[in-house]
């Protein structure tokens, strides 16, 4: 009780002393400068935090805009691959996405140069994996697959030369408008469209690796 009274008395004495100081006293000036300095630091920290949030939002917005526009940042242009399954001949099927746009001939040669072919699913299981794989990569754009009717107009074949068993075309397609002998696939829908082979498109390669 004595200690509390003494503390209270000291506080009263201190406040009385401070209130009696002239307005321009060095003690008050130093105290006010300290308050101003602390206020400036708080404001500076708040400004830096706000700028950091704005910068992060800008980066995220740019990435979202690139995604929605079908464009890709440099880090996303490397080939992206996925393992599918074993085919009927017990080979491991791997799909690889090629982001560089090429005509059909160059896209095919690019796949073959690496030991593969343009993708032609031979059954529904292979198609379902391909569809899920390319959906986020292509979005609303199109990429070449390997089906074609080079040999006989209107008869599309797969890489084995057999008639294609997957015919997931858009309505009223294929229509051979402008001599369209190649096939492209839309990412968002998984639908096929016949296309002129000179058009520049991204592409999907397949690799069938024998099991040892």
> Can you tell me which residue has the tokens 């201190």?
14
> Can you tell me which residue has the tokens 């708080």?
42
At residue 88, does pLDDT exceed 70?
A: yes
The answer for residues whose C-beta is within 8 angstroms of residue 187's C-beta and 6 or more apart is 134, 135, 136, 137, 138, 139, 140, 141, 142, 143
Q: Are 70 and 140 in contact (CB under 8 A)?
A: yes
Q: Which residues are 205's β-sheet partners?
A: 96, 118
Q: What is the pLDDT of residue 20?
A: 53
Per-residue pLDDT of 25-38, as tens digits, reads: 554 455 456 555 55
What is the percent of the chain where pLDDT is above 70? Answer: 62
pLDDT range class, residue 75, cuts 50, 70, 90: very low
Report the alpha-carbon distance of residue 118 to residue 145 in Å, rounded: 5
Q: Which two tokens stand for residue 53?
A: 């949030």
pLDDT range class, residue 48, cuts 50, 70, 90: low
The model's pTM is 0.63
Residue 67 Cα distances to 17, 60, 63, 113, angstroms: 67, 11, 6, 29
Q: What is the pLDDT of residue 129?
A: 95
Per-residue pLDDT of 152-209, as tens digits, reads: 999 999 888 999 999 999 999 999 998 999 999 999 999 999 999 999 999 999 999 9
């Amino acid at each position: 009780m004595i200690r509390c009274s003494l503390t209270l008395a000291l506080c009263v004495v201190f406040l009385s002393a401070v209130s009696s100081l002239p307005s321009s006293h060095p003690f008050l000036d130093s105290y006010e400068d300290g308050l101003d300095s602390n206020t400036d630091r708080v404001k500076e920290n708040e400004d830096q935090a706000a700028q950091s949030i704005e910068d992060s939002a800008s980066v995220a917005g740019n990435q979202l805009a690139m995604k929605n526009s079908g464009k890709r940042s440099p880090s996303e242009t490397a080939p992206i691959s996925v393992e599918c399954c074993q085919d009927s001949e017990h080979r491991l099927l791997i799909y690889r996405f090629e982001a560089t746009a090429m005509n059909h001939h160059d896209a095919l040669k690019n796949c073959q140069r690496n030991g593969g072919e343009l993708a032609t699913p031979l059954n529904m299981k292979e198609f379902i994996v391909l569809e899920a794989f390319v959906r986020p990569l292509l979005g609303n754009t199109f990429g070449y697959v390997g089906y074609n009717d080079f040999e006989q107009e209107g008869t599309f074949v797969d890489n084995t030369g057999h008639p294609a068993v997957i015919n997931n075309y858009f309505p009223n397609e294929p229509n051979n408008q402008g001599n369209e002998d190649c096939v492209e696939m839309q990412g968002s829908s998984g639908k096929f469209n016949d296309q002129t082979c000179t058009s520049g498109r991204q592409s999907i390669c397949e690799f069938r690796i024998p099991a040892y």
